[in-house]
Amino acid sequence: MAVDEVRVAELKEKLQQREDHIKESWVKTMELRLVRDELGKCHKAEGVNHYENCRWLSEKYLAMLKYNRVRGYKNIDV
Protein backbone atom coordinates (compact mmCIF):
# COMPACT_ATOMS: atom_id res chain seq x y z
CA MET A 1 0.00 0.00 0.00
CA ALA A 2 2.76 2.47 0.86
CA VAL A 3 4.41 1.97 -2.53
CA ASP A 4 1.16 2.78 -4.35
CA GLU A 5 0.66 5.90 -2.27
CA VAL A 6 4.18 7.04 -3.07
CA ARG A 7 3.64 6.46 -6.81
CA VAL A 8 0.36 8.37 -6.71
CA ALA A 9 2.04 11.26 -4.89
CA GLU A 10 4.88 11.28 -7.47
CA LEU A 11 2.37 11.27 -10.32
CA LYS A 12 0.40 14.14 -8.79
CA GLU A 13 3.61 16.11 -8.31
CA LYS A 14 4.65 15.50 -11.92
CA LEU A 15 1.23 16.57 -13.22
CA GLN A 16 1.38 19.73 -11.08
CA GLN A 17 4.83 20.53 -12.46
CA ARG A 18 3.52 20.09 -16.00
CA GLU A 19 0.57 22.37 -15.34
CA ASP A 20 2.78 25.03 -13.74
CA HIS A 21 5.23 24.85 -16.64
CA ILE A 22 2.51 25.27 -19.25
CA LYS A 23 0.91 28.17 -17.33
CA GLU A 24 4.25 29.96 -17.07
CA SER A 25 4.86 29.35 -20.76
CA TRP A 26 1.52 30.92 -21.63
CA VAL A 27 2.20 33.93 -19.40
CA LYS A 28 5.49 34.56 -21.20
CA THR A 29 3.76 34.21 -24.56
CA MET A 30 1.12 36.76 -23.57
CA GLU A 31 3.88 39.15 -22.43
CA LEU A 32 5.44 38.75 -25.87
CA ARG A 33 2.10 39.55 -27.48
CA LEU A 34 1.79 42.74 -25.41
CA VAL A 35 5.25 43.89 -26.48
CA ARG A 36 4.36 43.15 -30.12
CA ASP A 37 1.18 45.21 -29.84
CA GLU A 38 3.08 48.11 -28.28
CA LEU A 39 5.64 47.91 -31.07
CA GLY A 40 2.87 48.17 -33.64
CA LYS A 41 1.42 51.20 -31.85
CA CYS A 42 4.85 52.81 -31.73
CA HIS A 43 5.37 52.25 -35.46
CA LYS A 44 2.03 53.87 -36.26
CA ALA A 45 2.56 56.80 -33.90
CA GLU A 46 6.13 57.61 -34.89
CA GLY A 47 5.70 57.32 -38.65
CA VAL A 48 8.95 57.63 -40.58
CA ASN A 49 10.96 58.06 -37.37
CA HIS A 50 10.00 54.66 -36.02
CA TYR A 51 13.43 53.22 -36.80
CA GLU A 52 15.02 55.51 -34.24
CA ASN A 53 12.25 55.94 -31.70
CA CYS A 54 11.03 52.33 -31.51
CA ARG A 55 14.39 50.61 -31.73
CA TRP A 56 14.53 49.70 -28.03
CA LEU A 57 11.10 48.11 -28.27
CA SER A 58 11.97 46.09 -31.36
CA GLU A 59 15.18 44.85 -29.71
CA LYS A 60 13.23 43.82 -26.64
CA TYR A 61 10.71 42.01 -28.85
CA LEU A 62 13.44 40.12 -30.70
CA ALA A 63 15.13 39.13 -27.45
CA MET A 64 11.85 37.92 -25.98
CA LEU A 65 10.98 36.06 -29.18
CA LYS A 66 13.83 33.62 -28.60
CA TYR A 67 12.65 32.40 -25.22
CA ASN A 68 8.99 33.26 -24.73
CA ARG A 69 7.28 30.51 -26.67
CA VAL A 70 4.69 27.99 -25.65
CA ARG A 71 6.50 24.78 -24.93
CA GLY A 72 4.84 21.56 -23.99
CA TYR A 73 5.40 19.55 -20.87
CA LYS A 74 7.79 17.14 -22.60
CA ASN A 75 10.64 19.59 -22.02
CA ILE A 76 10.46 19.05 -18.26
CA ASP A 77 9.92 15.29 -18.50
CA VAL A 78 13.21 14.66 -20.31
Q: Which residues contact 38 (CB under 8 A, 6 or more apart)?
A: 57
Q: What value does the mean pLDDT of the chain take?
A: 86
At residue 25, the pLDDT reads: 87
Q: Which DSSP string corresponds to 28-78?
A: HHHHHHHHHHHHHHHHHHHGGGHHHHTHHHHHHHHHHHHH-----THHHH-
Residues of the chain with pLDDT under 50: 78
State residue 68 phi and psi, 5-degree precision.
-95, 70
Q: What is the pLDDT of residue 74?
A: 65
Give the domain ranges of the chain.
2-77
